[in-house]
């Protein structure tokens, strides 16, 4: 177990067999290869399916899965003018989904020119589990990271508390 530095009053859940604590994830974030199949479904259609995903893990957050563009149906993804900045990874560019029936703003984001140390995720897309119909890690349907701001995917393989839950805004 790593040295956990939690905010005052916060108690980390001890991970069980096969689980990880988000409090054991590093800061700055780390990129890990993913052995599991990662899938994204919108309107009953699989729009992303890969065995080549990468995940970014950071203290207190659920893993964020980055999928290579070759394994994504890009036909209905439209780049937007929206951007945000991560102190570690750099400037993120966003994508809307629009198939003329289902329009989903800011469904995914990517780092086109990531900061040094994060080049492995260049041009890979990360999807918000809260904005797609289904987000799958292996055979488990992932749940959105709490709070709406963060893009992590929550599975039974992680324990928290997880940033985004009520009272976590200053973590």
Task: List pLDDT tens digits, range 28-79.
Answer: 999 999 999 999 999 999 999 999 999 999 999 999 999 999 999 999 999 9
- Of 134, 135, 171, 141, the residue nearest 157 (C-alpha): 141
Residue 161 belongs to some domain of the structure: no
Give the span between the Cα atoms of 71 and 56, in whole angstroms: 18
The bridge status of strand 20-21 relative to strand 158-159 is: parallel
Q: Which residue range(s) make up the domain with 87? A: 20-154
Residue 65 belongs to some domain of the structure: yes
CA angle 75, 146, 2 (to 5 degrees): 105
Residues 6+ away with beta carbon under 8 Å from 17: none
First to last CA, the chain: 21
pTM score: 0.95
Average pLDDT value over all residues in the chain: 95
Residue 93 belongs to some domain of the structure: yes
Residue 72 belongs to some domain of the structure: yes
Q: What's the structural domain count of the chain?
A: 1
Residue 60 belongs to some domain of the structure: yes
The domain that holds 51 is classified in CATH as: 2.170.150.40
Residue 100 belongs to some domain of the structure: yes
Q: Which tokens hold the place of 71?
A: 């394994």
Residue 51 belongs to some domain of the structure: yes
Residue 167 belongs to some domain of the structure: no
Q: Alpha carbon of 159 to those of 20, 62, 64, 65, 118: distances in Å?
A: 6, 9, 15, 17, 25
Q: Which tokens hold the place of 91?
A: 């400037």
């Amino acid at each position: 177990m790593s040295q956990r530095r939690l905010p005052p009053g916060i108690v980390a859940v001890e991970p069980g067999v096969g689980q990880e604590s988000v409090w054991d994830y590093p800061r700055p974030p780390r990129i890990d290869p993913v052995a599991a199949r990662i899938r994204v479904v919108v309107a009953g259609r699989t729009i992303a399916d890969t065995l080549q995903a990468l995940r970014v893990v950071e203290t207190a957050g659920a893993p964020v899965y980055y999928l290579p563009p070759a394994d994504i149906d890009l036909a209905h993804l439209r780049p937007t003018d929206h951007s945000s900045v991560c102190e570690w990874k750099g400037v993120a560019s966003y994508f809307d989904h629009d198939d003329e029936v289902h329009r989903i703003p800011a469904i995914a984001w990517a780092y086109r020119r990531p900061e040094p140390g994060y080049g492995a995720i260049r041009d890979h897309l990360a999807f918000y589990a809260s904005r797609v119909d289904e987000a799958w890690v292996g055979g488990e349907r992932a749940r959105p990271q709490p709070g709406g701001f963060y893009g992590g995917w929550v599975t039974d393989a992680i324990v928290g508390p997880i940033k985004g839950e009520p009272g976590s805004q200053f973590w």
